[in-house]
Amino acid sequence: MNHGVHVIDTGFVRPRFDAAYLLVEEGRAAFIDCGTNHSVPRMLQALDKAGLTPASVDWLILTHVHLDHAGGAGELIAQLPNARLVVHPRGARHMIDPNQLWAGASAVYGEDVMETTYGRLRPVAAERVDEAPDGHVVSLNGRPLLCLDTPGHARHHLSVYDRQANVCFTGDTFGLSYREFDTANGPFILPTTTPVQFDPDALHASIRRLVGLKPSAMYLTHFGPVENVGKLANDLHAQIDAMVNIATAAQAHSSDKGQRHEAMKAALTDLYLSRAQAHGWAGDRASLLDLLGMDVELNAQGLGVWLDSRKTSAA
């Protein structure tokens, strides 16, 4: 009943943090996302466990080119003799020439962290890359995988609708839901506004579009499948609005960017903690930050970039 959908833990950061997926249809396979260079052995192991070989893989589909999803693409595809890379048209050139991607991510994380965390990015040969505009269908041995343009988290983001399984692979568009926050009320979810392309209106619209397909589950990168899609979408919409309000308030009250950033981090932590506790989660502020500290930091950074881009475009 799992329609040949396998969850792979890429091993990035901690267990159950970063997922990739292996889809199998009658002996042929597709990966959706792939983690980093360090995840490649786990991807190959997943194939082996499914009784397949690297030659069985026809597709590596990337939801977007952020490195926790796509960093290992060049290394992985070098191991897959028959696979083609499927990527959003805005992401394709960054997979063919990863220098700009490397520089952009280094600006966020620092060059040292980049080397150890992700490893050097290996380019993908242009002739192995398929650009997937909105409505592009990938055929996995006859099983259609529909690629939808879903901006909001990033402008180079696509989501994949698998009609046969009736599930969506949402990358980061449908937020983050770590299993440590599961309670009797089900999964807890929050949006991700990682730098540098957060767009609240686009994110609302993309979430509405995915929910409109009426999938039975969303398969998130962080982490795994979640059901009860309508309820979780409402949680996301409410928090996107709350996060925009947090950003706008911090902008109004803080004269310098360091202060603004700290104010946003504190308010985001308050928001997620109050929602997690209302959800029945038993943890406190410190244990929340153990799990979400990095996301709070990145979400605050992304909101800061969004605030500054609004100022520029209004000027």
Which is closer to Zn ion, CB of 66 or CB of 94? Answer: 66
Which is closer to Zn ion, CB of 11 or CB of 283? Answer: 11
- Minimum CB separation of residue 172 from Zn ion in Å reads 4
- Minimum CB separation of residue 104 from Zn ion in Å reads 12
- Minimum CB separation of residue 28 from Zn ion in Å reads 28
Residues that bind Zn ion (CB under 5 A): 66, 172
Which is closer to Zn ion, CB of 4 or CB of 191? Answer: 191
Which is closer to Zn ion, CB of 28 or CB of 66? Answer: 66
Which is closer to Zn ion, CB of 66 or CB of 88? Answer: 66
- Minimum CB separation of residue 17 from Zn ion in Å reads 13
Q: What is the 3-state secondary structure (H, E, C) of the chain?
A: CCCCEEEEECCCCCCCCCEEEEEEECCEEEEECCCCHHHHHHHHHHHHHCCCCHHHEEEEECCCCCHHHHCCHHHHHCCCCCCEEEECCCCHHHHHCCHHHHHHHHHHHCHHHHHHHCCCCCCCCHHHEEECCCCCEEEECCEEEEEEECCCCCCCCEEEEECCCCEEEEECCCCECCHHHCECCECCCECCCCCCCCCHHHHHHHHHHHHHCCCCEEEECCCEEECCHHHHHHHHHHHHHHHHHHHHHHHHHCCCHHHHHHHHHHHHHHHHHHHHHHCCCCCCHHHHHHHHHHHHHHHHHHHHHHHHHHHHHHC
- Minimum CB separation of residue 30 from Zn ion in Å reads 20
- Minimum CB separation of residue 149 from Zn ion in Å reads 15
Which is closer to Zn ion, CB of 232 or CB of 263? Answer: 232
